Structure 1
Amino acid sequence: MNTAGSASPSGLSAEQATRQLALDGPNELPRQPRRTGWHIMLEVAREPMFQLLATAVSIYFVLGDLAEASVLLAFLAVIVAITLVQERRTERVLEALRDMTSPRALVWRDGAPCRVAGRELVRGDLIELAEGDRVPADARLLVSNDLAVDESLLSGESLPVAKTALAAKGDTRSTASSRIFAGTMVVAGRAFAEVTATGARSEIGRIGTVLGNIEAESTPLHRQTRQLVRWFSVLGLVVSAAVGLLFFVTQGDWLGAMLAGITMAMSMLPQEFLLILTVFMAMGAWRLSQRRVLTRRAATIEALGAATVLCTDKTGTLTRNQMGIERLVCFTAEGALRWQAGEGFLDEPFQSLLRHGMLACEEAPFDPMERAFHTLAQSALAPLAEKPVLVHEYGLSPELPVMAHVWRMAGQQDHTVAAKGAPESIVRLCNLPEALREQVLKEASALAERGMRVLAVASASFRGTDWPVSPQGFDFRLLGLVALADPLRDTVPRAVQECRRAGIRVLMITGDHPGTACAIARQAGIDGDAGLLLGDEVARLDDAALQRAVSTTTVFARVAPQQKLRIVQALKANGAVVAMTGDGVNDAPSLKAAHIGIAMGSRGTDVAREASSLVLLDDDFGTLAQAVRLGRRIYDNIVKASRFVFAVHVPIAGLTLIPMLFGWPLMFTPMHIAFLEIVIDPVCSIVFEAEDEEPDLMERMPRAPSAPLFSPSMIAQSLLQGCVVLLLVGGFYGWLLHEGLSDDTARAAAFIALIASNIALILANRTLRGDVRAVFQTGNRALWTMALTILALLSAALLFAPMRRLFGFALPDLALLGSAIGVGAVALLALLAQQHLMAAIMRSRQSMTSSP
């Protein structure tokens, strides 16, 4: 323990902190300004669709058609409003997620510790730091205990830097070793510190502008989408130029040719794809947060649907993380003495065992296991006359998983050393005779096989302050075993079963005793008998042998963090898509190496959360299974929306081109396309995002991670859907003209048929498996609201005389109206038949592939 003076944990008052926050501003790095409505509108104005519509409005003004120009301008305003609402909604969701994921700080206010958002820290605050915390602001140390900080973010130095408290509170003197900086990581020890600089005034704040300008790499899905949009945009411009030229050659009207070209370009621009990804990813992250899962990287949502292996730890994830001491075992010359919970009074050997076990814990325990020691000690042991003082400590290390504390006890010259850890490690420290060693390990194994967490406790005496480098320098004697029980979470067996049905392997990787691990695995439904591998065995295997071993092993016990990283790498080498949970500082490499790193929200360290892509706020494996389910649903809905976008542009583009080729009256003007755009954007981004999951969502194998979203088969099926609608509506329009109906009547009836067929496209794409029942499910309120809105807009265009004239419509009679709606019904039947046939073909191919 190193202290420079009195650091009474009182801190600022709430009133002082509020005044200082108003003076200094929030403790956050400079970042890009929040997008206002005007910024979003400027971005919309740069979109090709907006520019095409604006050009059409200008041409109508040139032609003197003020009414048509005004209505088209109104449509343009509606499209901008829809985009603005969707973008603002996305911004609000992302802002809420930023607030939820902002770092937390343990600060003393009004004499009591409390957790506050890091942005609320002010100069003069007293903060408390422990291993795994990210330093929230620049500060000087008042009290430190074996503190080591990773400053590589600032200095590039890879080794941790030792820190000591050399400056007393109120003293202006300080050195580099007594100062800690925002953004660095505490990798060992504990400390109290006084905040000296926040936000832009901190060391990292000076480079905050540079950090803010670094853009994250695009995800594969975004890259695919941008490439597709670019390809279709080029194709659309080429075709629209050809259409404009054709119109000018045949009609001799250059303004009309420009309008025809603009109409064609508008009909082919698939700008909805980028909107789909923006809305779906933001809303997906929000939906995950509603299930107590925070998304730190959007690409994770894509990966969730492809996960093939879930690697989970045991304590707190599979179990409740509510430890209680169930058994105490002491060893004497006459044999083992046993005490179990509920027996009441503790005899002297058990009191010594429990007291030293508590002394080997932190003074203010956070870990549930250490809280269990303190809880039982407070109720079963008499308080000491004078509180002991912690003078030195040894943390857990991969080489020696033992925690040891050195105490100065009142009235004693020698220091008392208390250690706890894995039984086999404590046995080695105590140098026990072979017979006693075997007896202790046999007893520990028997307790572990009943699903209990077993620790051994030892004590030693030491005179002087020339501390050994490691606990191995003390002369320890064994005091006994402590068995703790942590019951399984109720949600776990069902979640494990669900994952296994979905083709996802569930592996347990824990530092616990193999007996404990296998017992909990059996309770959880993990096939613990399929294979067990110990950390030492992992260390002895070469990479090729480990790859073979992880393909069959389901339980890994006594695993060190570096071995966990090797397990992840071996699984990835086998082609698995790996999700990995972790909570400690040393878990960060394996979390970063996994495709989906998942940190624990309540017990995880800041280091683990920084390395992860998801954070489980409740640390529950059942929540993780829900996240996988939701990830699959989001990906399915992206596919549904993309199929709809591909399909819906085919009849629009076709019905723009065909009348020119056949010499028919034009069916579309830019106004009709604008009307259809008002329909398409909300449908693809709002309606499909809200779609329920498929019935077989968690009963199918994970999708191949290399499979593109826009596969040739998906594009072909979508284009085929669009061709079905094009043939039906185009044939209906041609038949109406052949029957001698007026141009306005035929255009109105065909437009109604197109809208009805577009609704049929929406319904048909609600399912990916050709399930007719899913088409008419009533759960998606956004769908039915949108359908009613479309019908209301169409009714206004037909029933309101000025609108009718602007659209070039004549009011059809009831028989013609029924025929147009009938085209939509026939389209729905044809689309469902096509989907059913395609699903049957796919099932047939899969069965042929899987058959020997």
Structure 2
Amino acid sequence: MAQAPDPTGDPQFVTPETGLTAAQVAERVASGRTNDTGSATSRSVWEIVKANVFTRFNAILGALFVLILATGSLADGLFGVVLVVNSGIGIVQEYLAKRKLDRLALLNAPTTRVVRDGQVVEIPTIEVVADDLIELRTGDQVPADGELLAATGLEINESNLTGESDSIPKAAGDKVMSGTSVVAGTGRFPAAAVGPHAYANKIAAEAKKFTKTHSEIQSSVNTLLKYITWVVIIALPLQIWSQYRVIGDQGWREVVIRSTGGLVGLVPEGLVLLTSVAFLLAAVQLTRQQVLVQELPAVEGLARVDVVCLDKTGTLTVGDIIFEDLLPLDAYDENDLRAALGALADDPNANGTLKAVADAVPAPSGWNRRTTIAFNSARKWSAATFEDARGTWVMGAPDVLLSDDDPIRGKVSELAATGRRVLLLSNTDAALSGQELPAGMVPRALVVLAEQVRPDAKDTLDYFKEQGVAIKIISGDNPTTVAAIARRVGLEFDDDGFVDARTIGEDAEELREIVEKTTVFGRVSPEQKRALVNALKMNGHVAAMTGDGVNDALALKDADIGVAMNNGAQATKAVAQLVLLDGKFSHLPSVLAEGRRVIGNVERVANLFVAKNVMSLIAIVSAAVASMPFPFLPRHLTLVSALTIGIPAFFLALGPNKRRYVPGFLKRVLRFAVPSGVIAGVVVLVSYLLAKNEPALKALEASGQCRAPEGGTAILNTVCWHPGTAATIALMTTFFWILIVLARPFRMWKAGLIAALILLTILAFWLPMAREFFNFEISSTLLWESLLVGAVGAVLVEIVYRTAPAMRAAQNA
């Protein structure tokens, strides 16, 4: 028996009987020579905390919060509590999602059989070490690279590497590669290359370089944050200067409080949080449907996809062949033909084809084998001689068993054109001798096999067609076979709609024209798969790629969204953003629906936050130009933000939303939110100036009774609170209408939510304790004036909405 020397210099050898000892395993683990590539499903706890706490806007709000604390006006520091709560919610949500995703990834982690200390044990694949003696059985995935020490009837499916679906027989001394799978037989080999050094993981590592899933939402939000950062930088000195100029004689505390009120309004403290939470909860929701989201933006990404590239094997088909029919070629009795076929398939060393036949055709009684020749991919046939004058039966490839001019070839070609695999069943009275075909064979029947089409494939493809998503089949198999299977699942295309990729190039630029007009590509190399995906992207498409083989890994990496099957190669799953844990292609519509929900809802939320930011900027500039105090205390804007933005945004971001994806997220947000924010800012200015012109208030200000006492922040005469109260009432009236506009189309839960928030607002102005806390006081006349100003603002917001067809179309899509 062959032996493999231990490359570490260990005097012991790896043999097919004993494998490594516990001490040898420990030494390799200590030196890091394991199959663990270090990939993680989610961020670490520290990364989660850092991402949710250490942000530019948390830094701004934190600094403002410290300044407010220094003034002693704790009521105006409520935004600091909101800051902590927002970060806390984000940390808790992501941590809970992390636990669930990590647990799910662990449950779906692959295992491998190894021989250690002479015993066969099953361990997680990541715990395989260099030189581990790996035992392969039918159905296993090869976890490492190496050279076989022993093999019995071993056949390896290397389609993950090559795209070819035919299995390859292996013998002792042959190489096996990670990412391939065992379809028949057994074997043992020492792991020569593990972890990042294994072939499949090298491809995965190459594919993972410099990749980051593009998210229109995150990109748009980041653009907004960049703009807002510059606005804050510009507004900060303006706000401080204007408030010092107007109320500087009241002391630094009043300047800080009024300045903070405007700056807090410029910070969209919950926008990033709610975007992240929406992604996270969508990911957790999808895990219930057996979809593992490895990169959160992929949830949104699939909703933007307008072309899906599918690998035939593992996506449209299960990957297994099934017996479909037995077609007699002469007057030979069909029952006898089925008996002979069942007997021939009743082979203890059956390959995949014979197993498919055996599953459908039962073995007859009384058929005893005398001689057997097992199938070999080189000779392309198998045979058996049976006792009791039943003769010899041979099954194999028609092109090997038939003469060139045999008319049966025409029938074979017709069936092959429909995507079937056709074998010829022949018999003779001559016995088998050696490895040669016996003489006098007579063709008796055609054995028709077919790849098992996934039962959910047609419905899923029909769904994508309804949604305007184009389908491209990109496979390593014969283009005629692939085209036939594509037609079986409902794809429509003419005879020019499929092509043999060996006749086209590998340069993405050269493929841009053909990729648009062609539906099916066969005999595609891994490099061509990648080039075809890039050609689609060059043509302006958002492309998704599904696959299960290592040969799909680079294409999945370059696609906007990569979707892998859980029974596929580990390298492919490592590259993909989404993994279908139960391998069901039918889950993709659910992912698309979740992406639509996230996109639509985050757009609503972004409108609310941006409108508030614009309103605050208008108020800051107006206060500076009009030489007046900033209209709000920080506590006023905290109330406005909580009841018209923060709380409703949280529910709107997580609610159902089935609208189709419409490009132009940022443009639509700015098109509605900027003019709405300007309207709200003007409403604030008008209502504040109306209140400032009250005769009673003017008299109090002239006498100095509306000044805060030295060293304090409380103004005892409540008439002095009228301007801030009036501005808050008018602003909330307008902002509630902005919320109503963005909540369309209405559902009962949305109506109930808005009604509850309006009730809370009324209580804030009506309850004595709340009025005192917020410094709210207003005359009946001024109340109606403020409501009227706010209502005018609401009407103008409605006009903005109705004159923005792109936004209404997106909302109602």
What TM-score results when the alignment is normalised by the length of structure 1? 0.69
Q: Secondary structure at the match of 2:657?
A: coil
Tell whether the 8 Å contact from 1:353 to 1:479 is kept in structure 2 after alignment: no
Write the distance in 2 (CA, Å) between the matches of 1:33 and 1:516. Answer: 37
Q: Secondary structure at the match of 2:295?
A: coil
Report the CA distance between 1:764 and its aligned residue. Answer: 1.8
Tell whether the 8 Å contact from 1:535 to 1:560 is kept in structure 2 after alignment: no
Of 61, 78, 83, the match for 1:79: 83
Report the CA distance between 1:236 and its aligned residue. Answer: 0.9
Write the distance in 1 (CA, Å) between the matches of 2:520 and 2:338. Answer: 38
Report the CA distance between 1:80 and its aligned residue. Answer: 0.8
Q: Secondary structure at the match of 1:710?
A: helix
Report the CA distance between 1:243 and its aligned residue. Answer: 1.6
Tell whether the 8 Å contact from 1:655 to 1:726 is kept in structure 2 after alignment: yes
Select between 291-300 and 43-52 the one with higher mean Cα deviation.
43-52
Write the distance in 2 (CA, Å) between the matches of 1:560 and 1:510. Answer: 8
Write the distance in 2 (CA, Å) between the matches of 1:135 and 1:361. Answer: 22
**Which residue is 2:748 aligned to?**
778
**Which residue is 2:622 aligned to?**
658
Report the CA distance between 1:219 and its aligned residue. Answer: 4.1
Matched, 1:640 2:604: yes
**Which residue is 1:599 aligned to?**
564
Matched, 1:578 2:547: no
Select between 610-619 and 31-40 the one with higher mean Cα deviation.
31-40
Change (3 A) 1:619 1:54: closer
**Which residue is 2:229 aligned to?**
233
**Which residue is 1:483 aligned to?**
448
**Which residue is 1:106 aligned to?**
111
Tell whether the 8 Å contact from 1:313 to 1:510 is kept in structure 2 after alignment: yes
Of 333, 341, 347, the match for 1:350: 341
Tell whether the 8 Å contact from 2:339 to 2:364 is kept in structure 1 after alignment: no
Write the distance in 1 (CA, Å) between the matches of 2:483 and 2:43. Answer: 52
**Which residue is 1:835 aligned to?**
801
**Which residue is 1:670 aligned to?**
634
Q: Secondary structure at the match of 2:612?
A: helix
Of 809, 813, 817, the match for 2:776: 809
Change (3 A) 1:126 1:748: farther
Report the CA distance between 1:445 and its aligned residue. Answer: 2.0
Matched, 1:268 2:277: no
Report the CA distance between 1:625 and its aligned residue. Answer: 3.3
Describe the superposition over 1:586-642 as per-residue Cα deviations: whole angstroms up to 9, x where unpaired: 3334333433332223x4232332333322234344322333343333223333322
Q: Which amino acid aligns with 1:97?
A: L
Describe the superposition over 1:326-369 as per-residue Cα deviations: whole angstroms up to 9, x where unpaired: 213466xxx59695xxxx6545653476458x95625xxxxxx7
Of 301, 307, 310, the match for 1:309: 307
**Which residue is 1:760 aligned to?**
737
**Which residue is 2:92 aligned to?**
88
Change (3 A) 1:463 1:832: farther
Change (3 A) 1:586 1:631: same
Write the distance in 2 (CA, Å) between the matches of 1:597 and 1:94. Answer: 21
Matched, 1:284 2:248: no
Q: Which amino acid aligns with 2:414?
A: S
Tell whether the 8 Å contact from 1:514 to 1:557 is kept in structure 2 after alignment: yes
Identity of aligned residues (%): 21
Matched, 1:433 2:423: no
> Aligned pair count?
735
Change (3 A) 1:117 1:270: farther
Write the distance in 2 (CA, Å) between the matches of 1:322 and 1:31. Answer: 30
Report the CA distance between 1:809 and its aligned residue. Answer: 1.3
Change (3 A) 1:758 1:542: closer
Write the distance in 1 (CA, Å) between the matches of 2:592 and 2:408. Answer: 45
Write the distance in 2 (CA, Å) between the matches of 1:604 and 1:35. Answer: 24
Q: Which amino acid aligns with 1:247?
A: Q
RMSD between aligned alpha carbons? 5.7
Tell whether the 8 Å contact from 1:764 to 1:832 is kept in structure 2 after alignment: yes
Q: Which amino acid aligns with 2:403?
A: P
Change (3 A) 1:435 1:375: same
**Which residue is 1:735 aligned to?**
690
- Can you give the 5+ residue segments of structure 1 that lack an aligned partner in the other structure? 13-20, 151-161, 167-176, 363-368, 395-401, 421-425, 465-470, 767-773, 845-852
Change (3 A) 1:544 1:809: closer
Q: Which amino acid aligns with 1:808?
A: N
Q: Which residues in structure 2 correspond to 1:63-78 (within 5 Å)?
A: 63=71, 65=72, 68-69=73-74, 71-73=75-77, 75-78=79-82
**Which residue is 2:9 aligned to?**
none
**Which residue is 1:725 aligned to?**
680
Write the distance in 1 (CA, Å) between the matches of 2:591 and 2:475. Answer: 22
Report the CA distance between 1:839 and its aligned residue. Answer: 0.3
**Which residue is 1:710 aligned to?**
666
Q: Secondary structure at the match of 2:739?
A: helix
Report the CA distance between 1:512 and its aligned residue. Answer: 6.5
Write the distance in 2 (CA, Å) between the matches of 1:387 and 1:737. Answer: 108
**Which residue is 2:11 aligned to?**
none
Write the distance in 2 (CA, Å) between the matches of 1:326 and 1:508. Answer: 24
Tell whether the 8 Å contact from 1:510 to 1:517 is kept in structure 2 after alignment: yes
Matched, 1:251 2:240: no
- Can you give the 5+ residue segments of structure 2 that lack an aligned partner in the other structure? 4-13, 23-28, 159-168, 698-718
Write the distance in 2 (CA, Å) between the matches of 1:40 and 1:581. Answer: 30
Matched, 1:375 2:339: no
Write the distance in 2 (CA, Å) between the matches of 1:56 and 1:78. Answer: 13
Describe the superposition over 1:391-424 as per-residue Cα deviations: whole angstroms up to 9, x where unpaired: x976xxxxxxx8969999999xxxx99996xxxx
Q: Which amino acid aligns with 2:589?
A: A
**Which residue is 1:499 aligned to?**
464
Report the CA distance between 1:130 and its aligned residue. Answer: 7.5
Tell whether the 8 Å contact from 2:148 to 2:187 is kept in structure 1 after alignment: yes
Q: Which residues in structure 2 correspond to 1:492-571 (within 5 Å)?
A: 492-509=457-474, 520-522=485-487, 524-529=489-494, 531-535=496-500, 538-539=503-504, 547-556=512-521, 564-565=529-530, 567-571=532-536
Change (3 A) 1:229 1:371: farther
Report the CA distance between 1:455 and its aligned residue. Answer: 5.3
Matched, 1:788 2:796: no
What TM-score results when the alignment is normalised by the length of structure 2? 0.71
Q: Which amino acid aligns with 1:484?
A: L
Q: Which amino acid aligns with 2:244?
A: F
Report the CA distance between 1:90 and its aligned residue. Answer: 2.0
Of 135, 143, 154, the match for 2:143: 135
Q: Which amino acid aligns with 2:360?
A: L
Q: Which amino acid aligns with 1:668?
A: F
Q: Which residues in structure 2 correspond to 1:7-26 (within 5 Å)?
A: none
Change (3 A) 1:522 1:247: same
Q: Secondary structure at the match of 2:110?
A: strand
Q: Secondary structure at the match of 1:688?
A: helix
Tell whether the 8 Å contact from 1:329 to 1:337 is kept in structure 2 after alignment: no
Q: Which amino acid aligns with 2:756?
A: L
Write the distance in 2 (CA, Å) between the matches of 1:34 and 1:488. Answer: 34
Change (3 A) 1:433 1:81: same
Tell whether the 8 Å contact from 1:75 to 1:675 is kept in structure 2 after alignment: no
Q: Secondary structure at the match of 2:304?
A: coil
Q: Which has the larger radius of gyration?
A: 2
Report the CA distance between 1:89 and its aligned residue. Answer: 0.7
Tell whether the 8 Å contact from 2:213 to 2:295 is kept in structure 1 after alignment: no
Write the distance in 2 (CA, Å) between the matches of 1:683 and 1:370. Answer: 63
Write the distance in 2 (CA, Å) between the matches of 1:32 and 1:591. Answer: 18
Relative contact order higher in (CA < 8 Å, ≥ 6 apart): 2
**Which residue is 1:159 aligned to?**
none
Write the distance in 1 (CA, Å) between the matches of 2:475 and 2:333. Answer: 27
Q: Which residues in structure 2 correspond to 1:304-453 (within 5 Å)?
A: 304-314=302-312, 317-318=315-316, 324-329=322-327, 335=330, 346-347=337-338, 350-351=341-342, 354=345, 361-362=351-352, 372-376=356-360, 379-380=363-364, 426-429=397-400, 432-436=402-406, 439-446=408-415, 449=418, 452=420
Report the CA distance between 1:838 and its aligned residue. Answer: 1.6
Describe the superposition over 1:163-203 as per-residue Cα deviations: whole angstroms up to 9, x where unpaired: 9999xxxxxxxxxx9999xxx64588987779999x99999
Describe the superposition over 1:211-258 as per-residue Cα deviations: whole angstroms up to 9, x where unpaired: 9x9996574654554454234223212212122112223333444333
Of 721, 737, 753, the match for 1:744: 721
Write the distance in 2 (CA, Å) between the matches of 1:497 and 1:147. Answer: 36
Q: Which amino acid aligns with 1:350?
A: L
